[in-house]
Structure 1
Amino acid sequence: MTTEAEVLRYTAFSADPAGGNPAGVVPDATGLDDAAMLEIAAGLGYSETAFLTAPPADLGGESGRAFTVRYFSPKAEVPFCGHATVAAALALAERIGPGELLFATPAGTVPVSVSRTDGSAGSGLLATLTSVEPHLEEVGAADLAEALAALDWPAADLDPRIPAKIAYAGARHLVLGAATRARLADLSYDFARLEALMRRLDLTTVQLVHRAGPTLFHVRDPFPVGGVVEDPATGAAAAAFGAYARELGLVPADAVLTLHQGEDMGRPGVLTVELRAGESRVRVSGTGVRIA
């Protein structure tokens, strides 16, 4: 099996190539098997790479604007990746124009809308994905204690207003609230121990959150199961957190949240999360730019 394929590199959730979260995009992965896709993803070393092929026959959507998408980290396939979805949508929009896209992902069908911005920074494009149906789950006391031990976080450093839950909007994330910005900034964890817990609970990341204002949050996402210490900007976790914040009454049913991520690792990015009353699915928006 050859791994020869066109591979594009984009950063998502930042107009600066040095910010946000870099992702690989393979616009035509036809003929690549799982081993070849994993090899490409590992070679890039980004937290995820998106591989696009023809859509299933029943997906619908405008001809030429629907795709099957699979996501691979350097270590394994993941069911959904928000920043690689944004990257793929921007790459497609630069080729076929902005507008509506449909992505058939392992987690379900994800609509993505790409619109033009003023063009003053980045690609001049903004991508907005609409998540699959979200939900929350409880986390057991023993599992929470193990997560805190792996992170080396005393329980007293948790924010009781942001209780520990597992949130899902295409992938599973353990949400933990940091009482202070300093607690969030000080991240040094036991990689193997946290990875083992996350594999047992089928988690994609741990979503560490500090609330800085009514709709303003700082977040970090350890990602040992993907083979990287930390994800710089995590769209799937942002969608899951939006559903979490709404269900727990942290924000109104109609709200726009701003999540800052990547600052503590030198790759600042901004994720916009939109909640609409009467709609359970969550919208996540971000800009991006191609990496030369």
Structure 2
Amino acid sequence: MSTRSRIFQVDAFTTRRFAGNPAAVMLLAAYPPDEVLHALAAENNLSETAFLVPQGRDYRLRWFTPKVEVPLCGHATLASAAVVMERLEPGREAVVFATASGPLSVIRSGGGYVMDFPARTLTPVEAPAGLAAALGVAPLEVVWDGGNYLARLAAPEQVRALAPDLAAVAVLDCGGVIVTAEEGGEHDFVSRYFAPAKGVPEDPVTGGAHCGLAPFWAARLGRTEFRAFQASRRGGEIVCRLKGARVELEGACVFYLEGEAVF
């Protein structure tokens, strides 16, 4: 017997369609076996698919790349909040998602939504063997955020022009590599994120990466609020606020697709 699920595709961390990071959001009555979730995420073929299941007044939320389940995903959480507040329960002002990273709350803001995420603990490390060769540039410093290497480059132009060897990035001992540089002007810093080992060669806009980028730049710039730009081909903007052990990530969403999946 077939299962039917409402499905949405939402461009997150942008105010215009065809920019930001597209996420699929699927509403389920209950979670099917994990192999089905993996197959659905691979079929959707986006950097993340979010699976929502009602739980009391709120929802349980899981995230899958085309290859693996991940413990945290910012843009697909933002997209899920938009689906809940704009389509499932129009006019709702807040939602709390039960996730592998604990309860994640999202509230409506003037121009979009504000997510409350855990900040990542950063540990200075020596650049691992192969990192500079994989990136094509030697970082000024490298830290470990618990799952990714975060590499600071000398200038935003280096971040924007980067053309890494993704096969070399994929065999590093990490989930992915974040590159960043201070910019100034309209944005305080820029970044990009490469995670080919997780089936995401380059993620267009990465909320989770900013859970480490916010404390990283707070320690170097001496403040706690930033306007950030992820300089992928699609590009996207995130407002970050470091609040102790938490990070607020604020952004907007645009709906692209709404329909029904049958599996």
- Same fold judged by TM-score > 0.5? yes
Give the alignment of 1:1-292 within 5 angstroms.
4-28=4-28, 30-55=30-55, 63-64=56-57, 66-94=58-86, 95-96=88-89, 97-117=91-111, 126-141=112-127, 143=128, 145-153=129-137, 155=138, 158=139, 160=140, 163-168=141-146, 172-197=147-172, 200-201=173-174, 203=175, 205-213=176-184, 216-246=188-218, 248-252=219-223, 255-262=224-231, 264-265=232-233, 267-276=234-243, 279-292=244-257
CA distance in 2: counterparts of 1:251 and 1:42, whole angstroms: 42
Consecutive unaligned residues in structure 2, runs of 5 or more: 258-263
CA contact (8 A) 1:2 1:32 kept: no
CA contact (8 A) 2:177 2:194 kept: yes
Residue 85 of structure 1: how far off its partner (Å): 0.4
Name the SS for the 2:221 alignment partner.
Answer: coil
How many residues end up aligned between the 2 structures?
A: 254
CA RMSD after TM alignment: 2.1
- Over the matched positions of the two proteins, sequence identity in percent amounts to 30
CA distance in 2: counterparts of 1:261 and 1:133, whole angstroms: 18
CA distance in 1: counterparts of 2:23 and 2:119, whole angstroms: 24
Residue identity in the other structure for 2:145: A
CA deviations 1:134-164 (Å, max 9, x no partner) are 31123344x2x322121222x2xx3x4xx31
CA deviations 1:53-111 (Å, max 9, x no partner) are 244xxxxxxx52x2211100001111100000000001100121332211111122211
CA contact (8 A) 1:75 1:227 kept: yes
Name the SS for the 2:125 alignment partner.
Answer: coil
CA distance in 2: counterparts of 1:222 and 1:268, whole angstroms: 14
Name the SS for the 1:131 alignment partner.
Answer: strand
CA distance in 1: counterparts of 2:50 and 2:222, whole angstroms: 32
Name the SS for the 1:135 alignment partner.
Answer: coil
Name the SS for the 1:111 alignment partner.
Answer: strand
CA distance in 2: counterparts of 1:186 and 1:43, whole angstroms: 31
TM-score normalised by length of structure 1 = 0.80
Name the SS for the 2:105 alignment partner.
Answer: strand
Structure 1 residues 176-185 or 44-53, which shifts more? 176-185
CA distance in 2: counterparts of 1:164 and 1:3, whole angstroms: 46
Residue 283 of structure 1: how far off its partner (Å): 0.4
CA deviations 1:217-253 (Å, max 9, x no partner) are 111111212323211110111122112222x34332x
Change (3 A) 1:114 1:31: same
CA distance in 1: counterparts of 2:132 and 2:102, whole angstroms: 32
